[in-house]
Amino acid sequence: MPSSHQGLWKIFKNKKDMLQKMILSMAALFALTTVMAQPGERKEKLEALKRQYITTELELTVAEAEKFWPVFNEFETARKALRKSVKEASEKALAPTATKDTVIESAETNARKKKEEADLELKFVKDVLPIVGPQRTARLFELDEEFKRRLLEEMGNRRGEGGQQSPPRRR
C-alpha cells in the first residue's frame, strides 16, 4: 500500500511540475507580446526572455545558474562577433563593385569564421558540461533554436493575415 501512495505522489508532483512549466511558458509568451509592442528596450527584454526560457526549460538551480550564465554570456558575445564578421565579409562580396578577389576573400573569411564558431561551440560545451550535465548540455542548442522559432511565430502572429505588418500600436 505505501508504494501506491508514493506512486500517486509522483504523478501529482509531475503534474505540478508540468503546470509550473506551462504557467512560466505562458508568462514568457505574454512578456514576449509586450516586448514586441515596445521597440525601445527590445534587445534587453528579448535577452531576459531568452534567459528565463532557458533557465526554466533546463530547470537550473540558483547555484547552477550562477555558474552557467557567465559562461553562456561569454559564448554568446563571441558568437555574435564571429557572425558579425561573416556578415560584413558577405556584404563586401555582394557589393556592386566586388571583384573576383573580394568574393574569394569573402569565401575564405566565411570558411575561417565557421571553423572558429565550431571551435567556440565545442569549448562552450566542454565548459558547460560540468555545470549542468550531459543531457541538459545537449538540449542547449535545441532550446536556443526553439526560442527563436517561438519568437518568429509570435512576430508572424502579430503581423496578421497576408504577410502585411500591422501598424505599430500607440499607447
CA 168 to chain centre: 25
Q: Which residue has the cell 501529482?
A: 12
- CB 106 within 8 Å of CB 93: yes
Asked if residue 132 lies in contact with residue 58, where contact means CB atoms within 8 angstroms, the answer is: yes
| Nearest one of 40, 107, 117 to 77, comparing CA atoms | 117
Look at residues 129, 127, 152, 125 and name the one whose alpha carbon lies nearest to residue 141: 125
pLDDT in tens, 2-32: 444 454 445 445 655 655 555 555 555 555 5
pTM for the whole structure: 0.66
For 138-155, the pLDDT digits (tens) are 999 899 999 999 988 888
